[in-house]
């Protein structure tokens, strides 16, 4: 039975070494790795490749299930895809093994708690932002678009396409600003 490892960190600042060592110890013959956020199922080509090519009887191995997804719904989508192919999920640091009844039950419980933790974190963050706004400390992130620079370039006769390319923004943004300014 082939064991395929998947290691993920949210950012490139984080180190994959501990996960890779654990997956090798767990007998993974192939290990795919990426450093992308787990907040969404989108944008993780290594995980997608595993799910596309895993075969019946094979096992996807992770160190913890939060390496695959951050929501119960996303975890269930992944496990459903594995199940449809006759494959399984196993975690080295948690008693998760979807090839057993006990492992499936534990997987479901962990998924519920992972989603609960994520929701609590979001609530705390929203409360912190609201409190900071009340005190006048929180202003939000700085604007990504330098409106004055766009207007300066338009007045110099630069075209919207060139401005958008130079500043890394959409042409629509340039057109909107141009439309809003009187001639």
Which DSSP state fits 66? G
Residue 72 burial (C-beta neighbours within 10 Å; 0-12, 13-18, 19+): middle
Q: What gap in Å lies between CA 137 and CA 132, rounded to an integer? A: 5
**β-pair partners for 102:** none
Which DSSP state fits 97? B
- Residue 99 appears among annotated catalytic residues: no
- Of the listed 10, 37, 40, 170, which one is catalytic? 10
Q: What gap in Å lies between CA 175 and CA 114, rounded to an integer? A: 43
CA distance readout (Å), 35 to 91, 108, 175: 19, 25, 36
Q: What gap in Å lies between CA 33 and CA 62, rounded to an integer? A: 10
Q: What gap in Å lies between CA 95 and CA 176, rounded to an integer? A: 54
CA distance readout (Å), 71 to 40, 60, 66, 117, 118: 9, 18, 8, 10, 8
The residues that are catalytic are: 10
């Amino acid at each position: 039975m082939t064991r395929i490892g998947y290691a993920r960190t949210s950012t490139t600042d984080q180190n994959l070494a501990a996960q890779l060592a654990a997956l090798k110890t767990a007998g993974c013959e192939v290990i795919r790795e990426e450093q992308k956020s787990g907040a969404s199922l989108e944008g993780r080509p290594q995980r997608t490749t595993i799910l596309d090519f895993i075969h019946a009887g094979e096992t996807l191995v992770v160190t913890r299930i939060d390496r695959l997804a951050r929501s119960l719904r996303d975890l269930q989508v992944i496990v459903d895809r594995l199940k449809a192919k006759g494959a399984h999920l196993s975690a080295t640091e948690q008693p998760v093994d979807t090839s057993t009844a006990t492992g499936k039950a534990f997987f479901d419980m962990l998924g519920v708690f992972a989603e609960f933790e994520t929701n609590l974190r979001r609530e705390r963050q929203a409360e912190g932002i609201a409190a900071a706004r009340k005190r006048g400390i929180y202003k939000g992130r700085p604007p990504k678009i330098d409106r004055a620079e766009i207007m300066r370039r338009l007045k110099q006769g630069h075209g919207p396409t060139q401005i958008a390319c130079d500043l890394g923004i959409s042409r629509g943004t340039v057109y909107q600003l141009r439309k809003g300014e009187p001639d």
